[in-house]
Amino acid sequence: MQYVLGLDIGIASCGWAVINQEKERIEDLGVRIFDKAENPKDGKSMATPRRDARSTRRTLRRKKHRMQRIKIILVKQGLLSKTELDHLYESATEVDVWNLRLDALERKLNPKEFTRVLIHLAKRRGFKSNRKETTLSENGQILESISENQQIMGQKNYRTVGEMILQDKKFESHKRNKDGTYIGTVTRQQLQDEIQMIFNAQRLYKNNYATAEFENSYLEIWASQRPYASKDQIEKMIGYCTLEQKEKRAPKASWSFQYFVALQTINNLRLISKDRIEELSFEEKKQIMNLALEKSIVKYIDIRKLLSVPNEFQFNSLSYSADTVDITVESRKCIELKEYHSINKVYKQIYEKNALNLLPKDYDTIAYGLTIFKDDKDILEYLQNKYVNAKGKPISNFANKTYDDTFIQALLNLNFTKMGHLSFKALKNIIPFLEEGLSYDKACEKAGYNFKGTSYTEKTKYLPVIPQNTNPVVHRALSQTRKVINAIIKKYGSPNAIHIETARELSKTFQERKEIDSMYQDNSKKNEHAICKLKELGNINPSGINIVKFKLWNEQDGRCMYSGKYIEPHRLFEEGYTEVDHILPYSRSLDDSYNNKTLTLGTENQRKGNKTPYEYMGNTSIWNDFETRVQSNKKITKKKQQKLLLQHFSYAREQEFIERNLNDTRYATIYLSSLIQQHLIFSESSRKKKVHTVSGIITSHLRSRWGFNKDRKEGHIHHALDAVIVAVTSDHMIQRVTKYYKLKELNRNLQAKRMPFPEPWEGFRLELEARISPNTQQYLKGFRFKNYADVNLSEIKPIFVSRMPKRSITGELHQETIRKFIGYNEKGKVLTAIKTKLEDIPFDANGDFPMYGKETDLYTYNAIKERFLSHKKDKRKSFQEPLYKPTKSGGIGPLIKSIKIIDTRTIVNPVNQGKGVVYNSKIARTDVFKKDEKYYLIPIYTIDLMKNILPQKAITAGKGYEDWTTIDPSFTFLFSLFPNDLIQIVPSKNKTIKARTTVSKKEVLLPSLTGYFKGVHSGTAGITVETHDGSVIANVGSKQLLLFEKYQVDVLGHYTKIKEEKRIGMAI
């Protein structure tokens, strides 16, 4: 079968469709869903908590080791014996250690006092960056606090940090960092200065223990710190060149990479006038590069002045609001050799005019050293050409040159971090051809590279494993897409072609995606508002086009954009009276965005035809009125204003628009299409273009014109619909659509308006509607499509969404927070208490809350409750002002900052020799047993891994863990459930499953439910199940079910019942 595979790839989905080209039909379609490879709260890597926890453990371990070594030398020095040291803190009447740190400057300390001071100073050593980083953007609040404390010490003449913290009002409430603040942060050097002052003072007061030798030994241990990371460790994390697979990538700060980027920018520059596009000459390109070497930032306006570019020309890489030179637009940055100028600045400061200029290799060497090495000592040795790696092997720097120590010390204030995508070897091979003025793709070809990817490789039937990508969200999306591609090839053979569309969010950062989501929500609200207003006007079920008309009518203050005439509201939807026009004709721009739409009277639109507004009205008296109308309307976006006032839309500019709207140039799209082209074998056909990237702008327009509105809230099936549209969006289809619009724009009479919008084949729209319906067979039989004559319709199943299972057991063993164990309640559940801020107290509707010790401290309880109720139950406002505990006499008592709140939990784990308890983290797996026609569920937590014993207690609703049902050999094991395993459940006789829709929250009653298992509640044994398309979710009691089955689902959504499963031990 000759087929085209269409892929619609998002950050958590892959819609797919197989189009049978021989029969002209939708052969198959489906959706694969997976979780985004990031923390949904903040977008950080899923490995961040584990990495942070490991870092904390390492820090605590090293601190403990440091304190052990400090105590050893204290005993060795004879300050105290080991026994005395072990009992040092048993007395409660000792002088506060902060006072002792000040006393150490003014009197002789006894051995016990001196020991306490030295131990206290060794516990917290102050902030020290691994490099000399001074920018607030990198260390934020820490550096701000350090700067503030340095100012306090200087202004108030405090001698030491200890004196400042003891005596300054800033530290009255607390002396240490607390609640995310850095109030007590100081530099390590400041504390080292205090230690040295204390030793000097003690020597003046004849303290025989404060010898210079002991001071040096103490400081050696106190200041010891491992480097952030070695060169070898960092190099392991650097990716490989996209062109030279065995070479590591070069630093972005290197001269070679900066020069490469600058050459690309210059070579891509074009000058556009009304009727032509001009390239820059070789000499002009050279002039721009020379300017970039002189100026740290080269703006477009600088290039216009340098080359004396006439005002009739504009730069191709800028968007202008009109056809005139815009100084504001051209003030944007064009070229910046930032790191080159940073290094140059340091060099000139050191040597002034007495030294020769640095060579390109010098800049590469310095950039490499400052990017790869994170320890000042290593950088110094590398640039001195004396670096020796961990294996004892001398490593020469790139220039094989020794730089001056004064120069190196000055360079240490610079900090470079990022890597490019090419290696030094590839850059060296490509740059000569870029210098000749060639574009990047042609330069790569001249250098012997395939610019779309790595070197040519042997092609295979199936797509190999996707190389690890630095963006985990992109990597997961592409890896899951690979599974879909290979599964389809296994079922249908090699494709004739693959069409790809990736979501605009895929290559965006978490913050950028939040902004896009906010934009979607804002647009959705505007549409909902429009629908409400339309219903008020009597339009009960407004169509998409009517919603757009209404929004444009409001935006344009009820007037036709071209004529300025008022549009009667009651005639707004009258056929022929008003029309939505493409400002830049669709046939000439392929732009169907809202910013290219305007509302006009039908007569005006007919006269405008296939022209831009300027081509229609320019050089006439009405243009000035139109221009004033557009510029004075503050509701119109700047982008729309630019299109409305564009005066010259030449053929060259048309092609630029079409190219931009047709081609998807996003990184993820290009990366995947390149991998497929390099590695995948396609079926033999006359088609030359095997991988076709499709722009979302085009597919969005086709979807709309074929009558399919995309609602992101309504489940996951729309991904399959999009994949079908992607698959049929060929060059030929686009030509047909363009031709349709051209005819319609030039011939706007009634007959032309009724021309049918092109479809890939006759009946396509109805066929697609049938294939995405849950009643597929019924629809196909009813429509009797000719292209299904040879198909057994009973074998065609509705789309069943496949989900990536979560069978790996990872993450924290238990929650970090340690709680106080109180006891058990009457049901046998564990009672715990946890310190809680006032604004985090869980108040009920009456203002009551489960405070620990309430009976013995009613004054505190009542004060909190009264404050909460007096502020209308607003927790944030209630405790903005300090709350003090009232005394028995009615006076003001101590400040209330927090209280202990009681919580109930079924299972807890003792820690710290039973002094506290922690809650389990998550249920990683649920084992299902059966006995006497009842089902029993055992939750297995991540912490059970450590115990290495499978739990044998099944959840018993409302009971404590000790009272749960114990599983013995009389119970039959059925299966283990992980999140996203497919199950089918049927309630007991004469019962239904109460569920709700995920969007409208409407309650629905179901006789049975087949869906994905999401989890189990350890207090009730209730299970959460979501339908395959995400449209319905239910919480169901498990014990009294009539039927409880597990199914295996493959990548394409085919599922089969699990017949038998053995209970296996835990594995990570």
Dist CA 807 CA 1066 (whole Å)? 11
Q: How many CA atoms lie within 13 A of 1045 on its CB side?
A: 14
Give residues with Cβ within 8 angstroms of 38, minimum separation 6.
44, 45, 46, 472, 473, 510
Dist CA 1021 CA 1010 (whole Å)? 18
Dist CA 1027 CA 983 (whole Å)? 10
Listing from the earlier edge strand, what are the strands of the sheet with 277-279? 277-279, 270-272, 314-315
- What SS3 string covers 856-902? HCHHHHHHHHHHHHHCCCCHHHHCCCCCEEECCCCCEEEECCEEEEE
The DSSP H or E segment spanning 142 is helix 136-156
Dist CA 17 CA 31 (whole Å)? 9
Q: Which of 28, 364, 582, 1017 is catalytic?
A: 582
Q: What is the CA radius of gyration of the chain?
A: 36
Q: Looking at the DSSP assignment, which residues form a beta bridge with residue 28?
A: 18
In contact, 247 and 228? CB cutoff 8 Å: no
* Dihedral-angle region of residue 352 (phi above 0 means left; psi in -120 to 50 means alpha; beta otherwise): left
Q: Where are the beta strands (DSSP E) in 998-1054?
A: 1003-1006, 1009-1016, 1022-1027, 1032-1037, 1043-1049
**Which is nearest to 271 in space by CA: 652, 821, 793, 771?**
652
Annotation says 582 is catalytic: yes
* Dihedral-angle region of residue 941 (phi above 0 means left; psi in -120 to 50 means alpha; beta otherwise): beta
Question: SS3 of 616, please?
Answer: helix
Dist CA 1024 CA 739 (whole Å)? 52
- Which DSSP state fits 118? H
Dist CA 321 CA 327 (whole Å)? 11
Q: Which residues are annotated as a binding site for Mg(2+)?
A: 8, 501, 505, 719
| CA-CA-CA-CA dihedral for 434, 437, 441, 446, to nearest 10 | -70
Name the pairing type of β-strands 497-502 and 3-9.
parallel
CB-neighbour burial class of residue 704 (10 A; exposed 0-12, middle 13-18, buried 19+): middle
Q: Which residues are annotated as a binding site?
A: 8, 501, 505, 719
Give residue 461's identity as a one-letter amino acid code: K
**Which is nearest to 517 in space by CA: 503, 502, 505?**
505
Question: SS3 of 466, please?
Answer: coil
Q: Which residues of 470-490 are buried (b: 16+ CB within 10 A; e: fewer)?
A: ebbbbbbbbbbbbbbbbbbbe
In contact, 994 and 1005? CB cutoff 8 Å: yes
**Which is nearest to 549 in space by CA: 530, 536, 524?**
530
Question: SS3 of 1004, please?
Answer: strand
Annotation says 8 is catalytic: yes
Polymer length of the chain: 1068
Q: Which of 8, 362, 664, 722 is catalytic?
A: 8
Where do we find the tokens 């405790």? 879
The DSSP H or E segment spanning 278 is strand 277-279
- Which DSSP state fits 646? -
Question: SS3 of 1053, please?
Answer: coil
* Dihedral-angle region of residue 590 (phi above 0 means left; psi in -120 to 50 means alpha; beta otherwise): left
The DSSP H or E segment spanning 511 is helix 510-536
Q: How many CA atoms lie within 13 A of 143 on its CB side?
A: 10
The DSSP H or E segment spanning 918 is strand 916-919
Quick one: tokens of 1036? 């169901």
Annotated catalytic residues are: 8, 582
